[in-house]
Structure 1
Amino acid sequence: MASQHRRDNSLYRRFPRLHLLQAGEGCELLASKTNELSIALTREGRSYYLHDPVQPGREAELFVSGFKEVKPQAHVIFFGVGLGYHIREFLRRHPNTSFSIVEPDTGVMNIFLQHLNENDWLADEMIEEVMVGAITGGTLGTLHRLIDRVSGVLVVPWLPYGSLFTAELKKFNEILYRMVSNKKDKMAINNVYEKKWALNSIHNLPFILHSSDFLHTGSEHIEGKPVLIISAGPSLNDEIEHLRHIRENNLAYLFTVGSAVNTLVEHGIYPHGTFSYDPNEYNVNVIQKVIDKGIDSIPLIFGSTVGKHTLDDYPGRLMHIIISQDELSMDILRTPEGHKPTIINDAPSVAVIALQCMIRMKADPIVLVGQNLAYRDEQYYAEGITNSQGIPVSVNSPRVEGVHGQQVVTNHSFIKMKTEMEFYINIARETKFINTTREGAVIKGTSFQNLEELIRARLKGSIEDSWLQTSSNPEYDPHFLKSRIEKLQRDEEVFQKNMEQIHHALLDIKQKLSLKQANMLNVSFGQFDELFASLLKNDFFKIYVLPRHRMRYEFLYSKMDAIRSSRNPLIRGEQILLYFGDFIWKCQQDYMEIMSEIHEFHCSIHT
């Protein structure tokens, strides 16, 4: 009878890996005086009940009554399942809450599955994931995907698990905290920048059309040549005279990133170029010193989504790189040969942008200067930097290994930059990477060498830099550009009609829901799905509207499978109105706000 129950259990159908569970030891199923079941778990010769041995059901009711308010969008993770009394009671009180189960003991999970009464569970509707046993790579992947899908998490440990599985619960909470923290960072970045990226692309396109593609123009000159990527860490102060010697003798290419250009200019050293990519409007402050001094011999290598007005008054040559967040340039730009522009991935720091470029251009060696990624005497900017206040050191600041074998104080932003930099370095295994940053953090994949020693040992020849001062002709096909703009104008008309139809389809679903016409909703769902699929294929929507709502769409996408697999038409209809309705409304509002700027941009291309 038990095996038949196993085969019919919907949890096994949803999560076939549960069939692979091995029967655990030290678990015993017991019956109370009221014939309610409990589990006794044996640890080091002692037995522990996972539920009250007399009234397990009543115990669960009292436990769940402590959760007075559960946010409607919260996803609940039950740590410890036992026989599920508390989960059943929780779902009875909060029937529309999605949930997952984490059970650290395989024996307990086996007993639970054997005695699961499916009438108490909406397994096909609300359960997201089941994780059993020790936290392994597979479990981490499952948990990571879960965190990406849900909008909020509430961890509910069952009463005895806090003492019986103390280490497991602590480890789970630490991993969960890191994952949620990383997701919040990603969401914060996208929430801040997703609308800036799209509008910056429009504003910067004229500058792109009248400047050189840095990767295309520079590759033949930089390949096989030494390049220094100079950051504004405090160790930069130590290297000024060495950098002056390199620049005066043209021993290597010097490219500054971010604020480092100010330190070099302050000391009368003009690098071969400076990188800028931050999408904020105040990004122009980073190069204000160059603008104010009217220095026209330092090319500005700008990311295509760089902050508005960064480029307006720059006195020197402009060279561009297309950033992965720039949907517009990727769609409308082609070389005369019909090739798309080379794309550089967006990154947490401009140093990582420059590093990607040099790897693509096959520079060798690539030398990092002033890339401390750590504090030095509670300082992390070089002298001459006036546009940033920095982050103060605290007693709780994390520490990482330093280049001299010591521990150095850092912060979470530096750690993210370091991790990203190490990722690209690890990919380019044939390139030599040298970190010259004194008292900085270790960057895996690089070898440490003092810059003075590097000059003596490796920088023997000279580089040719005249190409950096030579203007070049536009590199993109004007006919393709105009044809794409004309196509986008036609697609805008289709987009407007599509949005109106979707609005009426949502109203239709809302009306049928109010009348409880469950049998008629499936037709409306089919019509809505077709309209929404058509919207996603519309180029105008994909290029101008969707990039400004990346996070909302990712959240909506995470809900799509659950919504479409819902067997209850009324629940499905409510979810469509809630999730799709909100997304469509926000897109429509945003379109109205940016419509005039898009139209002005389209007209400028035709003139």
Structure 2
Amino acid sequence: MSEFFERNAQVIQRRWPALYARLLIEDTNALQADLVEGLGSTLSINGIQLTSRHDRTREARLQADSLPADSQVLHVYGTGLGDLPMDLLQRTGLERLYVHILNGAVFSLVLQLIDQQPWLSDPRVELLFAGDLPEIQLPYFALPSELVLADDFNAKIRDRLISETHLTFNNREFAPQAPEIVERLQASLKRLPTDGDVAELFGTWQGQDVFVIATGPSLELHFEALQALRNQAKRPLFICVDTAYRPLLNHGIHPDIVVSIDQRISARHLPPEGTSDIRLVYMPMVDPQVVEAWQGKRYAAYSASPMYQSLRHQLPRGQLHHGGSVIHPAVDLAVKIGAAHITLFGADFAFPGDKTHAGWGDGDLGPQLGAARHWVLDGHGQRIKTQLNFRSYLCELERYIADHPGVHFYNSSRAGAMIAGTSFHPELAV
């Protein structure tokens, strides 16, 4: 052990003995560490600079300035070289600073190389692994370098941090005053009064089982089982998202309810032929021609999005949760109709088997496999390719599940992303 590590470790062992024991087993030898020099210097881990190589102190000050000056409690995600905690601890009004480790091996290496005692010894500091808590804490600053370097244990929190950081940017597409949104909603208003209210479905499947079917690649593993179950007299209710409808039809599986929310959905995804016995639950951004061509019963729904605020006043309808993907209102519908058990199919939020979707070609539904630059852990604990928006959708589903402890959620596949709050179905999971 280095002299720096011994002194730093003494503080950690005294204040956080359980955390100290975990740090001792971190493998720092697996890291490629290099000194990077500029006007100053910093440490590069696996090609990622932990801080500025020119002026670490000024960088930390800029980061600290993004946090509210009057907050008595603050959170820092990532330890860096200790510069940001040191800057924040200069605030006399700060009563508690939580420092969340995003990569245990990186922090252990820093402890070997640099004296961290000044901030570790401060009684206002609490040190923990980010993954020890199920949710992010506010207000926070997340060090960009360690969002990239986050290890497997802390990956779920990393995903939540990135999703939260991108939220405002992602929502810009759904500004209520956008001309294309105003035009679509006005067109929808013409038919809304003649369609049913999704609230009519609430409570109609009390205490029963529901299958919620998405379009992840793992759905292909279940076509045969779903077809067999669909033909049984007593069976779960089948709710599918719009892009899963055609793949299901191609395998002789007719869902009971289809959920659609996206303005880009067309008759290519939802062919109207033979739909007289299938109910469509839609939000007003769906193409009016697609809705009008549907032969079965139609039910309108809103989300909490500001773009539906005017419609909610003019023509009240039931509300479904919307977390960025059609999977969210589909799951919320299953809960609100009274499901006691919900089994998810094709809810992969990733690209298992190097495919993007079941029943569709690469890029047919938007994302292309070649553009995947990110990862999540699958049901086997292995890293699997994904993209940022899929990770955000996963975060929102996990939050929703956590908010509904009275419903048992099953996952049917280990091939896709591990979904916190679910268990693998004892008979259907593959």
* TM-score under structure 1 length normalisation: 0.45
Among residues 393, 403, 422, which one is paired with 2:398 in the alignment?
A: 422
Flag the 1:103–1:302 CA change in 2: closer, same or farther, 3 A. closer
User: Residues of 2 paired with 1:300 and 1:415: CA distance?
Assistant: 27
Q: What residue number does 2:72 align with?
A: none
Q: What residue number does 2:222 align with?
A: 239
Contact 2:193 2:315 in 1 (8 A): no
Flag the 1:108–1:370 CA change in 2: closer, same or farther, 3 A. closer
Q: What residue number does 1:203 align with?
A: 187
Question: Which has the higher Rg, Structure 1 or Structure 2?
Answer: 1
Q: Deviations over 1:455-494 (max 9, x none)?
A: xxxxxxxxxxxxxxxxxxxxxxxxxxxxxxxxxxxxxxxx
Q: Does 1:375 find its partner at 2:351?
A: yes
Question: How much does 1:186 deviate?
Answer: 2.6
User: Residues of 2 paired with 1:224 and 1:416: CA distance?
Assistant: 30
Three-state SS of the structure 1 residue aligned to 2:347 is: coil
Among residues 352, 358, 364, which one is paired with 2:328 in the alignment?
A: 352
Contact 1:266 1:384 in 2 (8 A): no
Letter in 1 for 2:245: V
Contact 1:365 1:434 in 2 (8 A): yes
Q: What residue number does 2:249 align with?
A: 265
Three-state SS of the structure 1 residue aligned to 2:410 is: strand
Q: What residue number does 2:143 align with?
A: 172
Flag the 1:451–1:411 CA change in 2: closer, same or farther, 3 A. farther
Q: What residue number does 1:300 align with?
A: 280
Q: Deviations over 1:420-458 (max 9, x none)?
A: 11111111111111111241221111110255489xxxx
Question: How much does 1:264 deviate?
Answer: 0.9
Contact 2:373 2:387 in 1 (8 A): no
Flag the 1:78–1:234 CA change in 2: closer, same or farther, 3 A. same
Q: What residue number does 2:172 align with?
A: 191
Q: Does 1:397 find its partner at 2:381?
A: no
Query: After superposition, where does 1:219-234 map in structure 2 within 5 Å?
Result: 219-234=202-217
Identity of aligned residues (%): 19
Kindly indicate which of the two structures has a greater share of residues assigned to helix.
1
What's the RMSD between the two structures over aligned residues? 4.0
* TM-score under structure 2 length normalisation: 0.61
Question: How much does 1:366 deviate?
Answer: 0.7
Q: What residue number does 2:300 align with?
A: 320
Question: How much does 1:227 deviate?
Answer: 0.7
Flag the 1:131–1:284 CA change in 2: closer, same or farther, 3 A. farther
4+ residue segments displaced more than 6 Å: 97-102, 130-133, 175-180
User: Residues of 2 paired with 1:316 and 1:329: CA distance?
Assistant: 24
Contact 1:103 1:133 in 2 (8 A): no
Letter in 1 for 2:313: D
Q: What residue number does 2:365 align with?
A: 388
Contact 1:270 1:297 in 2 (8 A): no
Q: What residue number does 2:24 align with?
A: none
Three-state SS of the structure 1 residue aligned to 2:202 is: helix
Q: Deviations over 1:32-53 (max 9, x none)?
A: xxxxxxxxxxxxxxxxxxxxxx
Flag the 1:396–1:205 CA change in 2: closer, same or farther, 3 A. closer
Aligned residues: 311
User: Residues of 2 paired with 1:257 and 1:184: CA distance?
Assistant: 27
Question: How much does 1:236 deviate?
Answer: 1.2
User: Residues of 2 paired with 1:223 and 1:436: CA distance?
Assistant: 22
User: Residues of 1 paired with 2:171 and 2:88: CA distance?
Assistant: 43
Where does structure 2 lack aligned partners over 5 or more consecutive residues? Answer: 1-53, 70-82, 101-113, 120-140, 149-157
Where does structure 1 lack aligned partners over 5 or more consecutive residues? Answer: 1-65, 68-76, 82-86, 88-96, 114-129, 138-162, 335-340, 455-607
Question: How much does 1:98 deviate?
Answer: 9.7
